[in-house]
Chain A
Amino acid sequence: QVVLQESGPGLVRPSQTLSLTCSVSGGSMNEAGVYWTWIRQQPGKGLEWLGFFSWIGITHYNPSLESRLTISQGTSKTHFSLHLSSVTAADTALYLCARDRGIAHLGSTIHYFDSWGQGILVTVSS
């Protein structure tokens, strides 16, 4: 059973860079077919997919955030990180890491989020 845990500051000043880490235990980050993902939820709002990096190092970002966002694997390969630059109050949200897992199903590869961290609330305020 893979367990994910977010960590990082709960308060970030406007215009600064928000940096978070997701620690992964109970599973390999090199598992084929897995995309290590960041998702956020602004207060009272729905779920917003931010981006992922894959087991072979491919990254993909939400187009609305792509110019400010970097997602990467840590050097220890037991965690991955999010860096969001030039933050504003609109970036205040619960940030969640998740595992996007691909499985063979009825002749296709089906992807879904099967494991989630508990989330970390980040407030952008001066």
Chain B
Amino acid sequence: DIQLTQSPSFIYASVGDRVSISCRASQAISLHLNWYQQKPGRVPKLLIYAASTLQSGVPSRFTGSRSGTDFTLTITSLQPEDFATYYCQQGHSAPRTFGPGTKVDIK
């Protein structure tokens, strides 16, 4: 099974900050990595698929990148509505797996 590790677990940031979240896969998954945002009491929302493709309707301040088995989600200028938990997820093979999540909280 493919394991995903995320870092950091928590980010304390302010509005306007640039925030980066890392996700590392335990084996090669090419670009089969997706990012989701989840707010309390809400279901996850797809932000980015295929490592770097922005889902329709998602603001352009969200970007994704890949280097080998390392993936990064960057929020270029954090907005109040971006305080949430972010999960990476691999769609390369079954069983599908999620990273443990990164909570972005107000500093």
Contact = CB atoms under 8 A, between A and B. Distances in A.
Interface in A74-126: 96, 100, 105-106, 108, 110-114, 116-119
A57 B43 CA distance: 26
Interface string A41-74: 0000011110110000000111100000000000
Contacts, number: 64
B32 interface: yes
B43 A46 contact: no
Interface residues of B, number: 24
B71 interface: no
Contacts of B31: 106, 108, 110
B22 to A, nearest CB: 16
Contacts of A108: 30-32, 50
A37 B53 CA distance: 23
Given A110-B32, A114-B46, A100 B98 contact: no
B34 A46 contact: no
Contacts of A112: 34, 46, 49-50, 89, 91
B87 interface: yes
A110 B98 CA distance: 16
B96 interface: yes
Interface in B31-71: 31-32, 34, 36, 38, 43-44, 46, 49-50, 53
The CB with the most chain B CB atoms within 10 A, among A37, A48, A63, A116, is that of A116
The CB with the most chain A CB atoms within 10 A, among B49, B95, B97, is that of B95
21 contacts: A37-B96, A46-B101, A47-B36, A47-B38, A47-B44, A47-B87, A47-B98, A49-B95, A49-B98, A51-B95, A52-B94, A60-B94, A60-B95, A105-B53, A108-B30, A108-B32, A110-B31, A111-B91, A112-B91, A113-B36, A113-B46
Given A49-B95, A63-B95, A108-B32, 13 more contacts: A37-B96, A46-B101, A47-B36, A49-B98, A52-B94, A100-B96, A105-B50, A108-B31, A111-B32, A112-B46, A112-B49, A113-B36, A117-B43
